[in-house]
Structure 1
Amino acid sequence: MKNKKPKVLHIISSLQQGGAERQLIELVKKNKNHAICQLISGNAFEDEVNDNKIKIFDLKTKNIFSFIINLYKLNKIINYYNPDVINTWMYHSSLMIIVLKLMKIKNNIPLIWGLRCSNMDTSHYSILLKMVIKFCKFFSHIPDIIINNSKAGLDFHKKLGFKNKHTVIHNGIDTSRFLLNEKFRNNFRSQYKIHKDAIVLLCVGRNDPMKDHDTLIKAFKKLNRKFPSVILLLAGLGTEKIKNLNNIITLGPRKDIEYIYSSSDIIISSSAFGEGFSNALAEGMSSKLIPIATEVGDSKYILGNIGKLIKPKSINELYKAIEYMLELDKDNFENQKKLARKRILNNFSQNKMMSSYNKLYAEIVDK
């Protein structure tokens, strides 16, 4: 298959909004010989899927009983699609394909696991997730290679005891999509009655213990007493349920995320644990937002020398980091914005990510 692109079947829990899901959609959009199988129904990317004619298989898993039945369905999908490579995304889909392998079904198709998190604190999640991770660790010798989207994730999984060959492919950002658009900025601010000169902070992420909105909100409440005109936007699944506080606008899940980046000035990643490579952080930087991030996952590498890196779960450090940025003079503030975009352009392009994946697929098929 030296001159032919491998046919790849990607398996993922669901196509709900999320960083892994976004990266998968971008990868498949540029590779017409790829398809996606989701375990649970959901498509936050419906317009892009339809516009790009992406082939989607939906197992419609609802419980453990349908999971067992869907092993048979998944086998039928693999037979029908006949991929050269199977690439799973995250733990649940990785375990499901391992069950098929153990049943001696489709043992000959090269298998890649894609793991996206770093230092997961499973005490916040169900016992089922803990069991799935343990099973994946036990069977981690089976895939041909494990892709992590962060160096921190690679180190974390090796420390947990995941075997086999690991590699890192960082997320790639569509810098032609995520860039400052003054029209978007003005329209969004007008819609939400935000003054054109107000400084707007943004945090993008689902309402989840990992994202630690609590620390961010507490730091912002303290900050707002000194800077009463500053606005905080919270976007992501479940943020609409966060109680509205003074100068905090909760947006919930949004498909027009480019508008929200363009309307803002500072992007904040307040994650307490588990983050591998923060899409929101990199997309915000690509949109000329100054980054402030907790040192979780590969955030230190994403930022380089731009913005501020702080300890997780520290209200005071987060407050001080935002305060520092707000007190910069206009020239330095604008320069930080320019440097943020330059950092993404030079290090985390979508083309670089695509090239890394496609090279790996070709190598694994030609082995």
Structure 2
Amino acid sequence: MKSDMRVVHVITGLSMGGAERALFNVLSGGLARKYGGAVLSLQGEGVYGPRIRALGVPVYSLGMRKGLPSPLSIERLRRLVSQLRPDVIQGWMYHGNLAASLAARFAPGRPMVAWNIRHSLDALSAEKWLTQWVIRWNRWGSEGVDAILYNSRLSRQQHEAFGFSALNGRVIPNGFDTERLFPEPDRGLISRRDLRIPYDATVIGHVARFHPMKDHVSFLRAAIQVMRQRSDVVCLLAGRNVNLRNPVLAGIVPPELEERFRFVGERDDVPDLMRAMDVFCQSSWSEAFPNVLGEAMALGVPCVATDVGDSRDIVGETGVIVPPSDIHSLANGLMTMLDRTREQRVALGGEARGRIEVNYGLPSVVDQYGKLYERLRQGS
């Protein structure tokens, strides 16, 4: 049943990314039908803007450039929230959280404000200087927020230790639509054929945009160690700016091994790419709740992951966990998975999917958001 409550989501942007995908997932999983509302993107519509609009949710873009907001974009934010008259304003990511709190000052009445933090806080110094300041502004403003959501327990612990208000914090993990994400070997074979991957190859996959914390360098070096021991291994990497023309990655892969790597860039068919994988690897040295890990598991792909954020809790006993920033351990973890028979990996992938269905199914996560909004409206 549709609620008369209006929820407006404010997010930094709508390009390919974990937070953007998480917002789309909860909207498509039922929030859009029940609460309607709107989505305000501080930047552009990106990839997810049209998809969200197709759900019947209006999408507005403020067109902000990176950096400090302009007076024109602030005025546009004021006009939009005045027209939309939200009951709840939900921020997504640090910049979106600040914009949500600002929007609440402009909106008629007194809308409740919820923040959504999608980031771990392993090392503030690793962030860009402006992001460091935005995180500090979030800390200062957190006392006046009605609810602060985190997608991982570790993220909540880190932020509250840093000084974020602990009064209204709660964890709602990422949710996965297991009716859409399911093993389908035939589609995986089509992806292999399109990428000219031999039928009998063993495929190690990696999906992440290029960013230092994703640690593509460690993944490539570990993969090279594995390839020198296993001639059947092919590596499939998807993600924006992930290629050997990237100055950070150039020169890592020996020329004689380049033909065994597939760099496919940013793609919108990631589930089919994952279906082509025998093993998925998450190599980051910092994460909160890595979406790609849950997606690979839902698709029945066993995982090797670094022990960051909530990765250990997500994987459980269905994969291999290794220390971050440790190339030797990562290579050993991959070899441990590859030493299993294909049948054993398929069975492990089935257990991984079951773990996602039980602990991170999308309906349960959507229900948690809905209950939060109802409690906010009731002032409890």
If the length of structure 2 is used for normalisation, what is the TM-score?
A: 0.91
Tell me the amino acid that sits aligned with residue 344 of structure 2.
N
Residue 267 (structure 1) aligns with: 280
Are 1:179 and 2:182 matched, yes or no?
yes
CA distance in 1, matches of 2:66, 2:119: 24
Distance 1:212 1:105, change over 3 A: same
Contact 1:12-1:36 at 8 Å conserved across structures: yes
The structural deviation recorded for 1:121 is 2.6
1:111-150, aligned counterparts within 5 Å? 111-150=113-152
Q: What SS does structure 2 have at the residue aligned with 1:292?
A: strand
- 1:304-331 residue CA offsets vs partner (Å, 9 max, x unmatched): 1111011000001101111011111333
Q: What SS does structure 2 have at the residue aligned with 1:60?
A: coil
Larger deviation, residues 179-188 vs 47-56:
47-56
Are 1:37 and 2:40 matched, yes or no?
yes
Contact 2:301-2:346 at 8 Å conserved across structures: no
Residue 377 (structure 2) aligns with: 365
Q: Which runs of 5+ in 1 are unaligned?
A: none
Are 1:258 and 2:271 matched, yes or no?
yes
The structural deviation recorded for 1:50 is 4.4
Tell me the amino acid that sits aligned with residue 279 of structure 1.
N
Distance 1:104 1:337, change over 3 A: closer
Are 1:286 and 2:291 matched, yes or no?
no
Aligned length: 364
Contact 1:177-1:258 at 8 Å conserved across structures: no
Are 1:343 and 2:345 matched, yes or no?
no
CA distance in 1, matches of 2:358, 2:130: 40
Q: What SS does structure 2 have at the residue aligned with 1:249?
A: strand
Residue 22 (structure 1) aligns with: 21
Contact 2:85-2:107 at 8 Å conserved across structures: no
1:12-161, aligned counterparts within 5 Å? 12-29=11-28, 30=30, 31-32=32-33, 33-62=36-65, 66-100=69-103, 108-161=110-163
The structural deviation recorded for 1:46 is 4.8
CA distance in 2, matches of 1:152, 1:166: 12
Residue 215 (structure 1) aligns with: 218
Same amino acid, percent of matched pairs: 27
Contact 1:100-1:106 at 8 Å conserved across structures: no
Tell me the amino acid that sits aligned with residue 288 of structure 1.
G
Q: What SS does structure 1 have at the residue aligned with 2:197?
A: coil
CA distance in 2, matches of 1:352, 1:8: 19
Contact 1:278-1:299 at 8 Å conserved across structures: yes
CA RMSD of superposed structures (Å): 1.9
CA distance in 2, matches of 1:321, 1:150: 24
- 1:23-68 residue CA offsets vs partner (Å, 9 max, x unmatched): 1012222323131000001421255234323310100012556533
Distance 1:105 1:341, change over 3 A: closer
- 1:237-277 residue CA offsets vs partner (Å, 9 max, x unmatched): 2214545734221111111112101111111111101x111
Tell me the amino acid that sits aligned with residue 20 of structure 1.
A
Distance 1:172 1:18, change over 3 A: same
The structural deviation recorded for 1:7 is 1.3
Distance 1:181 1:5, change over 3 A: farther
Are 1:238 and 2:233 matched, yes or no?
no
CA distance in 2, matches of 1:38, 1:236: 22
Residue 324 (structure 1) aligns with: 336
Larger deviation, residues 90-99 vs 342-351:
90-99
Q: Which runs of 5+ in 2 are unaligned?
A: none
Distance 1:90 1:253, change over 3 A: same
Q: What SS does structure 2 have at the residue aligned with 1:233?
A: strand
CA distance in 2, matches of 1:344, 1:309: 17
Contact 1:5-1:362 at 8 Å conserved across structures: no
Distance 1:251 1:305, change over 3 A: same
Tell me the amino acid that sits aligned with residue 96 of structure 1.
A
If the length of structure 1 is used for normalisation, what is the TM-score?
A: 0.94
1:193-208, aligned counterparts within 5 Å? 193-208=196-211
Q: What SS does structure 2 have at the residue aligned with 1:139?
A: helix
Larger deviation, residues 175-184 vs 151-160:
175-184
The structural deviation recorded for 1:332 is 2.1
Are 1:4 and 2:3 matched, yes or no?
yes
CA distance in 1, matches of 2:95, 2:52: 22
Distance 1:87 1:210, change over 3 A: same
Distance 1:6 1:60, change over 3 A: same
Distance 1:335 1:183, change over 3 A: closer
